[in-house]
Amino acid sequence: MPIRVQTEDFDLSTEIAKLRAGQPQVGAVATFIGTVRDINDGAGVSEMELEHYPGMTEKALEDIVAQARSRWNIIDALVIHRVGPLKPLDQIVLVAVTSRHRGESFAACEFIMDFLKTQAPFWKKEQTPNGARWVDARVTDDKALAKWGVASDNAGPAA
């Protein structure tokens, strides 16, 4: 279960090859890549900076993957999350899950991403034409988490 929080970019094909190496039982790989958009909440975004608490963040990501393992029969999972300043089009996060069959990989990948959006200790600050602003948690992210039977205490905007 590789978990990495890093400033460096990642290469999807390299990461998937490493995740699958020596595991001939893998029949499915589901992935999600999140990228920086150039607009959010109606304002242009020239940069996003992600902050975190080292050690605490990795532990939270490990716990999220452990919860996915307890729900689905997955072979392995990879979470890479970038921190520091990022520009539009930059990759932010990679979640990849391997399993014997696609259903487990799809579900676990979505679950990990839904949990990551609300439960992982990352803070995002965007640079907009009106200055810097912190990005609040969204009600839609809480709703995504609720479908897995988990309530979140975030109280962000409904967007």
Q: pLDDT tens across 65-118, in order?
A: 999 999 999 999 999 999 999 999 999 999 999 999 999 999 999 999 998 888
Task: Report the alpha-carbon distance of residue 92 to residue 158 in Å, rounded.
Answer: 23
Give per-residue pLDDT as tens, 134-143. 887 655 655 6
Give per-residue pLDDT as tens, 78-88. 999 999 999 99
Question: Across 3-158, where does the E strand assignment appear?
Answer: 3-6, 28-35, 39-40, 43-44, 47-52, 74-82, 84-86, 91-99, 122-128, 131-134
Report pTM: 0.87
Q: Is the pLDDT of residue 157 over 60?
A: no
State the angle between helix axes of 56-71 and 102-119 in degrees (0 to 180), rounded to the nearest 10: 150
Residues 18-45: what's their mean pLDDT?
A: 95
pLDDT at res. 120: 86
